[in-house]
């Protein structure tokens, strides 16, 4: 693990400012936090500064400290602690962070680093001759089960072999990194076992529970019955609060009829939700232009019926909640401000 210091003065720019859209974004981001707790925006702001300039400059750190009214040393502490912040210029097309912690080392991280040494530069943090690539060793990235692994900007590439690593380096060096799908590079779903499931291979819980309840031992049946009764009671209680008129609320209305009322209550037919399309109208937009959307997420969005910036640009708060539920990255839409980005991209595309 290298010592993390700011880059030499000779490469530091003399000033920093967010561009117009990032400045507006930063202003909104700071408002996400309660008064007096604005300093909590330090990580998102540093990250946005890095996305804008490619690395976190000293001037950016000073600027952010000023924006958040924080002592400079506090912002320096954050920037120099987390390895996701680059403190010196890195490769334009990719900066590869190779995990070198024990599980990854035991599974071949040394070979992965050798590929970087051979294809990029013999030493970490040295930028390749064409200025496009650089690499470093970092500590555990939390994907140990998929060791060895690397991070490139916000994406991780896991279960690597020497050949796959060489392929990844080649693709990124050629500016075609988006051809590689992040995640495991072998036939495995996320961190599920290689070669398919070895546990939880039965039917889904809901179905299994209903069908197998007859086979439960008597004691277990009693527990299930009690739990069901408790839930029914709760439902009755909630229902009575919601539906019984004040004039007759001396005591809670009998659970049965009220509960019945609730179950027959009509739920608005399909959630109005965001507008979806079975297929793109004309050519699909490149949703990867939205910061925070990679090839994998773009595919998921397409599968969900979203193909165009104009669709995302129309999302309201309720739509965001619906899509948020469908994606496995809760909060990302708001955090990366997809709607604003989509509006700008839709305008540009016109």
Residues that bind ligand FES (CB under 6 A): 99, 101, 103-104, 140-144, 147, 149
CB of residue 102 to ligand FES, shortest distance in Å: 6
Tell whether omega for the bond before 148 is within 30 degrees of 0, i.e. cis: yes
- Identify which of residues 57 and 141 has a Cβ nearer to ligand FES in the complex: 141
Residue 174 token pair = 């050629």
- Identify which of residues 186 and 208 has a Cβ nearer to ligand FES in the complex: 186
Q: Residue 308 in 3-state DSSP?
A: coil
Comparing C-alpha atoms, which of 61, 131, 129, 60 is closest to residue 95? 131
Compute the half-sphere exposure of residue 7: CA atoms within 13 Å on the CB side of its CA.
20
Tell me if 83 sits within 8 A of 47, measured CB to CB. no
CB of residue 141 to ligand FES, shortest distance in Å: 4
Distances (CA, A) of 322 to 141, 304, 328, 330, 331: 30, 11, 12, 10, 11
- Identify which of residues 143 and 239 has a Cβ nearer to ligand FES in the complex: 143
CB of residue 310 to ligand FES, shortest distance in Å: 39
CB of residue 140 to ligand FES, shortest distance in Å: 3
CB atoms within 10 A of CB 230: 10
State the burial class of residue 287 (Cβ atoms within 10 Å of its Cβ: 0-12, 13-18, 19+): buried
- Identify which of residues 42 and 99 has a Cβ nearer to ligand FES in the complex: 99
Sign of the Cα torsion 177, 182, 184, 186 reads negative
CB of residue 156 to ligand FES, shortest distance in Å: 8
CB of residue 292 to ligand FES, shortest distance in Å: 22
- Identify which of residues 99 and 113 has a Cβ nearer to ligand FES in the complex: 99
- Identify which of residues 116 and 143 has a Cβ nearer to ligand FES in the complex: 143
- The backbone torsions φ and ψ at residue 100, rounded to the nearest 5 degrees and listed phi first, read -120, 20
CB of residue 189 to ligand FES, shortest distance in Å: 18
- Identify which of residues 50 and 97 has a Cβ nearer to ligand FES in the complex: 97
Whose tokens are 């469908």? That residue is 326
Residues 83, 89, 91, 93: what is their CA dihedral angle, to the nearest 10 degrees?
90
Q: What is the CA radius of gyration of the chain?
A: 26
CB of residue 161 to ligand FES, shortest distance in Å: 15
- Identify which of residues 65 and 149 has a Cβ nearer to ligand FES in the complex: 149
315/308 Cα distance (integer angstroms): 12
């Amino acid at each position: 693990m290298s010592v993390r210091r700011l880059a030499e003065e000779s490469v530091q720019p003399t000033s920093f400012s967010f561009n117009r859209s990032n400045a507006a974004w930063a202003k909104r981001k700071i408002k996400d936090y309660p008064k007096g707790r604005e300093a909590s925006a330090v990580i998102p702001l540093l990250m946005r500064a890095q996305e804008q300039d490619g690395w976190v400059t000293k001037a950016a750190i000073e600027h952010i400290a000023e924006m958040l009214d924080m002592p400079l040393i506090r912002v320096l502490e954050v920037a120099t602690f987390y390895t996701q912040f680059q403190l010196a210029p890195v490769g334009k097309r990719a900066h590869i962070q190779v995990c070198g912690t024990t599980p990854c080392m035991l599974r071949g991280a040394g070979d992965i680093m050798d590929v970087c040494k051979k294809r990029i530069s013999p030493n970490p943090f040295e930028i390749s001759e064409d200025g496009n690539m650089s690499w470093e060793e970092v500590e555990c990235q939390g994907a140990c089960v998929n060791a060895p692994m690397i991070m490139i900007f916000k994406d991780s590439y896991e279960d690597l072999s020497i050949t796959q690593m060489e392929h990844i380096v080649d693709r990124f060096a050629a500016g075609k990194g988006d051809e590689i799908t992040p995640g495991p590079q072998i036939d495995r779903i996320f961190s599920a076992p290689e070669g398919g499931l070895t546990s939880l291979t039965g039917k889904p819980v809901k179905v299994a529970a209903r069908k197998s309840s007859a086979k439960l031992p008597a004691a277990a049946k009693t527990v299930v019955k009690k739990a069901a009764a408790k839930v029914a009671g709760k439902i009755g209680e909630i229902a009575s609060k919601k539906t019984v008129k004040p004039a007759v609320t001396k005591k809670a209305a009998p659970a049965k009829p009220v509960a019945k009322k609730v179950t027959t209550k009509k739920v608005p037919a399909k959630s109005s939700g965001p507008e979806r399309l079975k297929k793109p109208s004309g050519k699909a937009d490149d949703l990867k232009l939205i910061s925070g959307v990679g090839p994998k997420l773009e595919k998921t969005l397409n599968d969900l019926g979203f193909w165009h910036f104009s669709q995302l640009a129309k999302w309201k708060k309720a739509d965001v909640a619906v899509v948020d539920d469908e994606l496995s990255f809760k909060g990302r839409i708001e955090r990366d401000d997809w709607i604003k980005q989509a509006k700008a991209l839709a305008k540009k595309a016109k």
